């Protein structure tokens, strides 16, 4: 085929395919003549490979005198998403080479698998606390021992987060996911061997392994979202990944009171019920571990955004984990966010751990309703998470959204505190739902805000530090609130949390004083956006000519 001249145009020899980077499409040319344009640089009457429809391909084939051949779905997908030469870069508006980007359908599979095994891990975190009085009687231990079955999740996270984030940043997403899923499965099976009254230490061992698994889980939502999803869906994807963990907490509130009712007068029946819960959890964890091995991939063939393309092309030698940590702690807005995120998430952990004790103080024998209140709190939070993720994707108003959600969480905590003892359990359902909507809805907001203000530092490192702060505050708040609840009642413990959350509002407000130090992730690099922008540039160039 003769080389085409953009100025004059040239006829294409019949029967010859177009050159790489070109697609012949009939436009306003006389019969027998066709125009050709580089991909991503169309003129009027021409169409690029990106976004080309089946009808356009058929018209091109017909105009070339060749019979129409229907495309297989896979071929059509490749035609829409990939450059004409596999692995080629697409030319930019001024001749610069722009890395090829594409959205992979596998991203939804990866997100689903992660969300499900994160769900199981969160379920195992709360399955003891929501029926703490039942396990106290079965194992013959104090309430503090049962609280530690929850707090061990927080305790294990703090020392292990740094090696875990180092592993994520240096060995990749897939290995980290396999460790999280595998340890979660192993811990679940160990707990199956602890269904005897003298084997509390075995159930603690299994819970410790599940807590280590959590270290390899909590830091992944923002990494999965940025590595697999496009710029306009990254916040929603992160919120969905966090949603899996929240849903696990919700199921952990709902199922244990149903599966293990308070039958302490019949120890054999109680042991049978506990065994059913443990074996069911282990079976599901095993299935999800196998799915992770089979279907969880490191990254898509093509990056989903130009920002990811730049990061992936950076030589490994340029990355320094210690330097990344130093950069994050020199970032004052991130340090403030670290503290405020730790306060609100630690408060949520404390409320979740002690919810059964708070409810049973005022509503005797209401273990099942205590679980349902916890379910209401988390389900409302899941709705809040999704709405906040969609809002951030649409507006990118991170600072304003963070402050607003924080303030509303504080008011939700105040209302919950002063209505808990009214004697109407339906009121507790409503106030718990309001509290959960804002407090749990804050989690993905904090994750995404951290990614935005720390770019181009690793998402896994920033997320890991946020979670470490949350675990530290969670342990301190649970111990302090538990002591206040035991000595002075639930209201004193909840007022303690309200004071800390008010301090969090003040620190969040300080974030607005650092506008010049916040660098946001570029969002104008979606594969779809690139086509639209290139077409607009091309039309502007035509007008200029």
pLDDT of residue 298: 82
pLDDT of residue 168: 83
Examine domains 105-304 and 321-511 and report if their fold is the same. yes
Does CATH place domain 321-511 in 1.20.1250.20?
Answer: yes
The CATH class of the 105-304 domain is mainly alpha
Count each helix (H run) and each strand (E run) in the chain, helices first.
20, 2
526, 529, 531, 533: CA torsion to nearest 10: -130
3-class SS string, 114-133: HHHHHHHHHHHHHCCHHHHH
Alpha-carbon distance values, 355 to 32, 116, 430, 490, 494 (Å):
77, 24, 15, 9, 11
Alpha carbon 125 to its chain's center: 18
Backbone angles phi, psi at 455, to 5 degrees: -55, 135
CB 143 within 8 A of CB 132: yes
Which residue is it, tokens 């904090």?
446
CB 34 within 8 A of CB 63: yes
Domains of the chain, by residue range, sit at: 105-304, 321-511
pLDDT of residue 2: 43
pLDDT of residue 313: 67
Kindly list the averaged pLDDT for each block of 10 residues, start to end, along the chain of length 545.
Answer: 42 44 42 41 38 44 46 40 43 56 81 92 90 89 88 88 82 90 94 91 94 88 83 79 82 89 84 93 94 87 73 58 80 89 91 87 84 87 80 78 89 92 89 88 79 74 81 90 89 93 89 52 46 43 40
pLDDT of residue 193: 92
pLDDT of residue 181: 93
CB atoms within 10 A of CB 320: 11
- 413 closest CA partner among 483, 494, 491: 494
Q: Taking each helix axis from N to C terminus, what angle separates 459-488 and 442-454, rounded to the nearest 10 degrees?
A: 140
- 355 closest CA partner among 374, 375, 379, 372: 374
pLDDT of residue 319: 55
């Amino acid at each position: 085929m003769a080389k085409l001249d953009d100025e004059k145009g040239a006829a294409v020899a019949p029967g010859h395919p177009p050159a790489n980077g070109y697609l012949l499409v009939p436009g306003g040319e006389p019969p027998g003549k066709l125009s050709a344009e580089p991909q991503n640089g169309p003129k009027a009457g021409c169409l690029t490979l990106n976004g080309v429809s089946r009808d356009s391909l058929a018209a091109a084939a017909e105009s070339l005198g060749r019979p129409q051949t229907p495309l297989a779905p896979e071929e059509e997908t490749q035609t829409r998403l990939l450059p004409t030469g596999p692995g080629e870069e697409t030319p930019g508006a001024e001749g610069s080479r722009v890395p090829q980007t594409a959205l992979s359908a596998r991203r939804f599979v990866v997100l689903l698998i992660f969300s499900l095994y994160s769900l199981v891990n969160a379920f195992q975190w709360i399955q003891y606390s929501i029926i703490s009085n039942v396990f106290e009687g079965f194992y013959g231990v104090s309430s503090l021992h049962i609280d530690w079955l929850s707090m061990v999740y927080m305790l294990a996270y703090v020392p292990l987060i740094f090696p875990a984030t180092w592993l994520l940043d240096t060995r990749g997403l897939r290995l980290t996911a396999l460790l999280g899923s595998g340890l979660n499965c192993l811990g679940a099976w160990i707990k199956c061997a602890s269904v005897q009254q003298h084997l509390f230490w075995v159930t603690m061992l299994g819970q410790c392994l599940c807590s280590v698994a959590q270290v390899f889980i909590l830091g992944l939502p923002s990494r999965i979202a940025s590595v697999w999803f496009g710029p306009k869906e990254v916040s929603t994807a992160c919120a969905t990944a966090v949603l899996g963990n929240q849903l696990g907490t919700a199921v952990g509130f709902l199922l244990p009171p149903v599966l293990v009712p308070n039958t302490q007068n019949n120890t054999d029946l109680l042991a049978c019920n506990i065994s059913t819960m443990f074996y069911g959890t282990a079976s599901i964890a095993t299935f999800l571990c196998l799915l992770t091995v089979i279907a969880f991939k490191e990254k898509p063939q093509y990056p989903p955004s130009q920002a990811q393309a730049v990061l992936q092309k950076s030589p490994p030698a340029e990355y320094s984990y210690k330097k990344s940590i130093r950069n994050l702690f020199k970032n004052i807005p991130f340090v403030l966010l670290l503290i405020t995120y730790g306060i609100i998430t630690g408060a949520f952990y404390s409320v979740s751990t002690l919810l059964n004790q708070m409810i049973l103080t005022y509503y005797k024998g209401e273990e099942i309703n205590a679980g349902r209140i916890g379910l209401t709190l988390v389900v409302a939070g899941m709705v809040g998470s999704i709405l906040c993720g969609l809002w951030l994707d649409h507006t990118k108003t991170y600072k304003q959204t963070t402050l607003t959600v924080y303030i509303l969480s504080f008011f939700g905590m105040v209302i919950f505190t002063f209505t808990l003892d009214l004697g109407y359990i339906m009121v507790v359902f409503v106030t718990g739902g309001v509290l959960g909507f804002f407090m749990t809805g804050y989690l993905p907001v904090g994750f995404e805000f951290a990614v935005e203000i720390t770019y181009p530092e690793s998402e896994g490192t920033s997320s890991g530090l946020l979670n470490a702060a949350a675990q530290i505050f969670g342990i301190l708040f649970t111990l302090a609130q538990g002591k206040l609840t035991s000595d002075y009642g639930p209201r004193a413990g909840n007022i303690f949390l309200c004071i800390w959350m008010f301090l969090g509002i003040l620190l969040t407000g300080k974030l607005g004083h650092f506008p010049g130090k916040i660098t946001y992730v570029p969002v104008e690099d979606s594969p779809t956006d690139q086509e639209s922008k290139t077409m607009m540039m091309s039309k502007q160039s035509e007008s200029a000519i």
